[in-house]
Amino acid sequence: MASRLQIKGDDSVLLRVTHSNLKNFAADIRFSLQMSVEAVKDKLWKKCGCSVNSMRLELYDDCKNKLCDLSDDSRPLGFYSPLDGFRIHVVDLDPSSVTSGGWLEDTSLVEKYTISEEDYNKRSGTFRKYKENLASQNPSAFRNKISDDYMEDLCANIKVGDRCEVEPGEKRGVVKYVGRAEALGPGFWIGVQLDEPLGKHDGMVKGTRYFQCPPLCGAMVRPDKVKSTFRGFLADPLTLLYHHFEQFPYVANENM
């Protein structure tokens, strides 16, 4: 809530500013209560782009109630009794304003420059030509240094459904995927559904779904990051001890 107590000697006020055409624009700006409404508009023009002559200012309290229009450019701002936390809403009345149309916030509305593959290949001085030139001078530098079978041997004892621990951080979960993942790079990968939302996705990586899990519980890691993998239970010390007693109950009792 805005404070109704005015600090003695303080002739400024901190107001939130919004704009009719810029839905994502919001700024907290300090204004002198002595400056005219016209001066306020001039200051706002530098912040949000619409011209002073096409600007209408509306004053709202901190409960979103409209109080008035700042309609008299010659009046000082203090005449309208704004308090810290109140809001000035800028209404751009110019239909041809630079802020109209939404293109300042939605870049999909902006026409992009495009070029066909054929025309691009005909050009000189492009990055593609530069890269091809480097590759011709040093072919070994551009060869794939990781084989398609990278870390395949480490996957031999990792099966879908296994409980596991993922490094770093000893994050626990269930193996949901074992295999290649071209979206991430050559070699083998392990997809894990973590017990807690400590991952980065829901099993979909760069548009390819490898497994299904709750949001932020999915992780794709190299096999060497998957530790303590046991089918059906997690290999913490207590579980291992319980498993040992289940398998060798009589030997365990004799040693007690």
Spell out the domain ranges in the chain. Answer: 12-92, 153-247
Write down the mean pLDDT value for the chain: 83
Lowest-confidence region among 118-127, 177-186, 213-222, 227-236: 227-236
- Note the pTM of the prediction, 2 decimals: 0.42
Which numeric CATH code is attached to 153-247?
A: 2.30.30.190
Q: Over 60: is that where the pLDDT of 243 sits?
A: no
Of the ranges 2-11, 63-72, 134-143, which is most confident?
A: 63-72
Lowest-confidence region among 45-49, 95-99, 157-161: 95-99
The CATH topology of domain 12-92 is Ubiquitin-like (UB roll) (3.10.20)
pLDDT of residue 146: 80
Of the ranges 63-72, 96-105, 226-235, which is most confident?
A: 63-72
pLDDT of residue 154: 93
Categorize the per-residue pLDDT at 97 as very low, low, confident or very high, splitting at 50, 70 and 90: confident
Categorize the per-residue pLDDT at 142 as very low, low, confident or very high, splitting at 50, 70 and 90: low
Mean pLDDT of 33-53: 89
Q: What is the side-by-side strand order in the sheet with 226-231?
A: 218-221, 185-194, 171-181, 162-166, 226-231
Q: 173, 181, 241: which is closest to 206 by C-alpha?
A: 181
In three-state form (DSSP H/G/I as H, E/B as E, the rest C), the secondary structure along the chain is CCCCCCCCCCCEEEEEEEECCCCCCEEEEEEECCCEHHHHHHHHHHHHCCCHHHEEEEEECCCCCEEEECCCCCCEHHHHCCCCCCEEEEEECCCCCCCCCCCCCCHHHCCCCCCCHHHHHHCCCCHHHHHHHHHHHCHHHHCCCCCCCCCCHHHCCCCCCEEEEECCCCEEEEEEEEEEECCCEEEEEEEEEECCCCCCECCEECCEECCCCCCCCEEEECHHHEEEEEECCCCCHHHHHHHHHHHCHHHHHHCC
Mean pLDDT of 213-224: 95
